[in-house]
Amino acid sequence: MRMTTAEQIAEALGGIRSGDGWIARCPAHDDRTPSLSVANGDGKTLVYCHAGCSQTVVIAALRDAGQWPEAARLTDHRLSSCTSYTIRDADGTSVAVHVREDRPGSGKSMWWTRPNGTTGLGRRPATSLPLYGTERLSIGESGTTVVVTEGERAADAVTSLGALAVGTVTGAKTIPDDDVLSVLAGRDVVLWPDHDEPGRRHMTGIAARLLALGCAPRVIAWSGARDEGDDAADYLARGGEADELAKLIADAQPYDAGVHGDGPPNPHAGAFKMIDGRDFLAEPDDPLEPLIGGLIRPGQVTLVSSPCGSGKSVLALFVIAAIALGGRLFGRELKAESVLLIDVDNPRDEVRRRLKRILAREDAPLGAFKFAGSGEEPPTLMEPQRWATMAADRFKLIVLESQNRLIPAKETDTQHFQRAVSTLRDLASRGPAVWLNGNTTKSGQNSRGSGVLRDGVDWSFEVRDATGWAPDGKGTDWWSNLPEANVAAWQAAVSRKRGRSAIRIAIVCNKARSGKTPDPRVVELQMPEDGPWTTVDVTEEIEGAHSGAQRSAKADAEQDYREARDALARLVQERYLAGDPIREAGAVFFLRAEPHKMGRDPATRLVGLGGAVGDGTAQWRRERWDVARSTNRSNPLVLIPCAEPWPKVASPGGPPERLEAAAPLAIGPGDPKVSSIHGSVARERAGDSHTSAPCGSGVGGIAPTEPVAPQGRERDAILPNAAGTNPEALDV
């Protein structure tokens, strides 16, 4: 084929001359403004997309359009061949493009582009992409045979021989999601694995998921495969014909885990069954008996979250030892059951050291206990096909340590967390209780996982460090004032734990899917340097301390209330005798200031109740005070004493003193005089008056008493407050 020049490429793309080359619309993306430069140079055709498409992607698009011959060379002088595979959904809509570059002597490379030409898939995982050739399935009826291959090239090879085929696009290390594989439901599925171990494991994982989806897959055995990685494309390249392929498909054997690799039995072969509603309601109940104080339940998933270093890993080991050996924990007798610990977070030596201390002896009968660490290479929770092959029903409890390692995803990767939740629930559906240790966010308020993880589990518990902490009696419940658990609180936590061989942790349930929410508890983990480790439930001790603190706090609050009330009563008496009754707002301000520091609502309530004491007697009442008309001010609400002058604070060794009413001042109308009253300056006005009402009005059960009023004309006195500020400006 004759080499296409830059000019010919530009002409085919409708380009125009620009300098020594041409500018045209790029064929690799939706290019509305010409962004592709095309030129000749040093015997090569040069292309460059200013919008960001890679040179290889542009050449692949040109090749698909027949505008780039195989003889053309890349600028790096390497001969290569690029093939683009368009991935479409069932409706035929383009979803992504898979580009494959084969380089002689150096293997192949593959990459993704989106339909608009942008390189990569963004945040979309390849496992969620449709199977290559999914749109072809619309031509086949239910029950039609379809061959599943690994990769697009192998699928095209099968299709070229007249058979219906689709290909996976995930690579051998992972498999498509269940939603992707569901298009195969109801069909005769034949799997063609690559001739290597990764290829066989890839198809084994797909077979396991197809069984769960109700398919009964078969597996092709091609005896002509001789080289590592041989697939259907190699079958075609070696002269394979349609008749031979038809025989291979007809001879394909049903998937068998013992023959084709590890896999679960086939519990869902064929169509799913339905039972009558009456039979369903007549089935006996199988209550999920809570274990370990409600922390775990068989068949359900528990998430235990806390900041790093809070003690949840040690707590999990105590639970494991109690179930594996049988014993008593949190007031409950347990019988020995099988337990699996998967810990890819803590060092093996540390896990071993802790377990030996908890078990108290190295020869403990732990035949029912299984362990898998990083060395055993357990799968992440985003690999459901590998978990599907595990015999989870063998265990009473599976403990997973920890979320960060088993779900290696960012907070925003919602799809990854959804897949992890699906894996967890699948494990629990096979019988065991599943316990996942997780970490909280920096604020300490939520577990990691953008809410998806917590929403997907059955039970969620928060673990807080309670070492060296005692309830202060505030709030109804002791757990409402536990120490903070955010990043900024680490210093306080370290200080509380310093020098201690025992730590305390509070365990509080913050989500319960069904049944009674377990009561919060505090557990002391005793971990001496020498000797066995033990655990003690100290919840009753904490509850007792909380009740005592509440009683003490209540007594202190009552005393503070009485002192504040008495102080205000004295102030009301003093201000009234001085001719300057304190205003209602000023009284509230007085109670909220030092030294009383009452809240706004309690202060307002105390003022409104008139300072009524236990016998129902009010100390003051509220009245409208008639100030001089010349001031153009509204009549304010003031406090008027209800009884005899309030006693002053008793002097040491002597009886309380009483305030005497000030002597009347003989002044005439319009003749203001200035006098000093209790060290304050008062403006005396003539013509002011006030009207008193029986004390106790508006306060139920308070007997009316005669007010004590000064003789003579009333005075609108201006008294300085404690800071020397005119209280009139504060409207008091």
Residues 331-354 have pLDDT tens digits of 677 778 889 999 999 999 999 899
Q: Is there a domain that residue 382 lies in?
A: yes
Mean pLDDT of the 128-134 span: 93
Residue 525: the pLDDT is 93
Residue-by-residue DSSP string for 621-660: EEEE----GGG--PPPEEEEE-SSPPBPPPPTTSPPPBPP
Q: Is there a domain that residue 696 lies in?
A: yes
| For the chain, percent of residues with pLDDT exceeding 90 | 26
Residues 457-481 have pLDDT tens digits of 999 999 988 998 999 888 889 988 8
Looking at 426-430, 502-506, 566-570, 724-728, which range is the least confident one?
Answer: 724-728
Residue 665: the pLDDT is 28
Q: Is there a domain that residue 700 lies in?
A: yes
Mean pLDDT of the 242-248 span: 92
Is the pLDDT at 616 greater than 50? The verdict is yes
Q: Which of 111, 146, 180 is the last residue of a domain?
A: 111
Q: 442 and 304 in one domain?
A: yes
Looking at 147-156, 222-231, 262-271, 571-580, which range is the least confident one?
Answer: 262-271
Higher confidence at residue 499 or residue 680? 499
Q: Is there a domain that residue 301 lies in?
A: yes
Q: 719 and 591 in one domain?
A: yes
Do 166 and 155 meet the contact criterion of CB atoms below 8 Å apart?
yes
Integer-rounded Cα radius of gyration of the chain: 42
Is the pLDDT at 546 greater than 60? The verdict is yes
Mean pLDDT of the 542-571 span: 91
Residue 719: the pLDDT is 30
Q: 676 and 611 in one domain?
A: yes
Grade residue 91 by pLDDT with cuts at 50, 70 and 90: confident
Cis link prior to 532 (omega < 30° from 0)? Answer: no
Q: Is there a domain that residue 550 lies in?
A: no
Distance of alpha carbon 209 from alpha carbon 158, whole angstroms: 23
Looking at 11-15, 322-326, 332-336, which range is the least confident one?
Answer: 332-336
Residue 302: the pLDDT is 92
- Would you state the structure tokens that stand for residue 703, as one six-digit string? 């007997």
CA angle at 351 for the pair 346 and 355, rounded to the nearest 5°:
155
Mean pLDDT of the 538-546 span: 93
Looking at 117-121, 573-577, 719-723, which range is the least confident one?
Answer: 719-723
Cite the beta strand spans of 335-473 per DSSP E. 339-343, 369-372, 397-401, 433-439, 459-465
Q: φ, ψ for residue 728 (rounded to 5)?
A: -65, -30
Look up the domain containing 708 and give its range. 561-730
Residue 627: the pLDDT is 62
- Residues with Cβ within 8 Å of residue 122, at least 6 apart in sequence: 114
Q: Which of 434, 466, 498 is the last residue of a domain?
A: 466
Q: Are strands 433-439 and 397-401 parallel, antiparallel or unpaired?
A: parallel
Grade residue 583 by pLDDT with cuts at 50, 70 and 90: very high
Distance of alpha carbon 620 from alpha carbon 638, whole angstroms: 10
Place of tokens 């979320």: 403
Residue 681: the pLDDT is 28
Residues 430-446 have pLDDT tens digits of 889 999 998 877 666 66
Q: What is the CATH number of the domain that holds 392?
A: 3.40.50.300
Q: How far is CA 316 from CA 304, 320, 598, in A?
A: 10, 6, 46
Residue 52: the pLDDT is 74
- Would you state the structure tokens that stand for residue 550, as one six-digit string? 């509440």
Is the pLDDT at 186 greater than 60? The verdict is yes
Q: 671 and 597 in one domain?
A: yes
Residue 41: the pLDDT is 67
Q: Is there a domain that residue 266 lies in?
A: no
Tally of domains in the chain: 4
Cis link prior to 402 (omega < 30° from 0)? Answer: yes
Q: Which of 466, 496, 524 is the last residue of a domain?
A: 466
Place of tokens 């992972």: 174
Is the pLDDT at 592 greater than 80? The verdict is yes
Q: What is the CATH number of the domain that holds 240?
A: 3.40.1360.10
Do 284 and 327 meet the contact criterion of CB atoms below 8 Å apart?
no
Grade residue 193 by pLDDT with cuts at 50, 70 and 90: very high
Q: Is there a domain that residue 527 lies in?
A: no
Which 3 state secondary structure label does DSSP give 588?
Answer: helix
Residue 154: the pLDDT is 93
Q: 591 and 679 in one domain?
A: yes
CB environment 602-627: b (16+ within 10 A), e (fewer): bbbebbebbbbeeeebbbbbbbebeb
Residues 669-726 have pLDDT tens digits of 333 322 222 323 233 333 333 334 445 443 333 333 333 333 333 333 323 333 333 3
Is the pLDDT at 95 greater than 80? The verdict is yes
Q: How far is CA 250 from CA 97, 145, 183, 208, in A?
A: 33, 10, 22, 21
Q: 323 and 252 in one domain?
A: no
Q: 669 and 588 in one domain?
A: yes
| Position 465, amino acid | D
Q: How far is CA 464 from CA 285, 331, 725, in A?
A: 36, 21, 48
Is the pLDDT at 731 greater than 60? The verdict is no
Residues 29-59 have pLDDT tens digits of 878 778 888 887 666 778 888 777 777 778 8
Grade residue 492 by pLDDT with cuts at 50, 70 and 90: confident
Q: 704 and 626 in one domain?
A: yes
Q: φ, ψ for residue 447 (rounded to 5)?
A: -80, 155
Residue 105: the pLDDT is 56
Residue 588: the pLDDT is 94
Q: 571 and 692 in one domain?
A: yes
The reported pTM is: 0.49
Q: Report, in this order, helix, strand and coil percent for the chain, each rounded to 5.
A: 30, 20, 50
Q: What rounded mean pLDDT belongs to the chain?
A: 76
The dihedral built from the CA positions of residue 245, 249, 255 and 256, taken in this order, carries a sign that is negative
Q: Is there a domain that residue 162 lies in?
A: yes
Do 582 and 590 meet the contact criterion of CB atoms below 8 Å apart?
yes
Q: 214 and 157 in one domain?
A: yes
Q: 461 and 321 in one domain?
A: yes
Residue 647: the pLDDT is 42
Range ranked top by mean pLDDT from 357-366, 388-397, 570-579: 570-579
Helix (H) or strand (E) holding 234: helix 232-237
| For the chain, percent of residues with pLDDT exceeding 70 | 74
Distance of alpha carbon 113 from alpha carbon 115, whole angstroms: 7
Residue 383: the pLDDT is 84
Give the CA-trace dihedral at 200, 203, 204, 210, to 10 degrees.
-170
Distance of alpha carbon 532 from alpha carbon 81, whole angstroms: 67
Q: 175 and 69 in one domain?
A: no
Return the number of other C-beta atoms located less than 10 Å from residue 466's C-beta: 25
Residue 387: the pLDDT is 87
